[in-house]
Chain A
């Protein structure tokens, strides 16, 4: 059955509906939220990313919980590394798809042709990726708390800081590389190849800060790592924003 009426255009010539003639200027934040809202709405409908990354993370945590046994010291030592490995691999699954929807059906071309800031579009995508990664991380944290009997809340402020800065770094660089490889053929192979080496300093710092947060960080040993995280995020956030315009035009 057709769910459209092919003949309704035979209306009087004067009866043409139209949009506004005025308009044009689009606020940076408005554009950022529009892109973010569109991406979240698309994901809510398709549930491709959420289903994939949740299934993957839950599976990995279960496998490790069986493999590592019940030694509390061993679990405590390995937990930060395991947490960031799960987050990294889940993030790659999500980041791969970030610009894929834009590449389909010429959506990216159309986005470029809107007179909106390309930085706002890039930032909108980045915020969406950041939200997905944080969501995974929070779920994994709680699962590890139950299965590994860990107390993550010895230093909740430090834990929140490392989650924020660590995930922000992954989202920033991941979105940048995702945009860079949008039009390449082997993007599923290219993304980890490009992203993983660049994320090594961030992951080292994140694991060390998470370890410190798990132990309460009574001696403030996490401070240099936290500064490294902050610098890393600042540099790559600024660099990604600077090149986002030419990157999307290309």
Chain B
């Protein structure tokens, strides 16, 4: 299993009424950016939640960073950062307090200077002492990026990373993804908007009705595949 970043074998997940994912099989060995594309409801977020160990697969098996999705939950949670639709910040706490709380639960020390540097990079250093409840969605996303930078995970899962961001915010998100790519951190990003993520990714996984419609080079997606 050494060197395998992501391996899924017949992975499936069933919600009460329907299968969100069925027979998803793929393998990736390089530390690269993988875009998960497909229309709404095709299973992108479900797949990311399974990779983040927030959901258990109903059937099949898989590994991420060589760690089993069913048996190595704790190890995966230490290595992988998941950024879902909800960002998980406490409204009453300030940006700095939220970051300190997150880092303390990750077992990492984050001093004021490092937090200040990261918030400066994200463009929200002036708001470091403001309650997150006063933040716009875009600012919260910048804060979530700051949290990832501070945490330094070994793999990153981003669910609709460009949603609710303005032009500058999208550029910042792209800059972060490119930075992680250069750092050799595998990034998995789910999006329904292929125009935003295709220029960033090394590989593309296209899902349709919970099954793999295409997995491979983004330049060679067959025209009959619905993005």
Q: Which A residues are within 8 Å of any B CB, using their own CB?
A: 3-9, 11, 13, 15-26, 30-31, 34, 38, 41-43, 45-46, 101, 104-107, 109-116
Contact = CB atoms under 8 A, between A and B. Distances in A.
Contact of B90 (A5, A101, A112, A114): A101
Nearest to A107: B88
A160 to B, nearest CB: 32
Nearest to A6: B168
Interface of B: 52-54, 74, 77-78, 82, 84-93, 97, 101-110, 114, 117-118, 120-127, 130-131, 139, 142, 149-152, 166, 168-169, 171-172, 175, 179, 182
B155 to A, nearest CB: 13
Contacts of A8: 120-123, 125
Nearest to A42: B92
A4 B139 contact: yes
Residue from A20, A26, A111 with most neighbouring chain B CB atoms (10 Å): A20
Contact of B84 (A3, A46, A106, A114): A106
B107 A23 contact: yes
25 contacts: A4-B123, A4-B124, A6-B172, A9-B175, A11-B121, A17-B120, A17-B149, A18-B118, A20-B110, A22-B108, A24-B106, A31-B105, A38-B93, A41-B93, A45-B92, A45-B131, A105-B89, A105-B90, A106-B85, A107-B89, A109-B84, A109-B86, A113-B77, A113-B82, A114-B105
Contacts of A16: 121, 149, 179
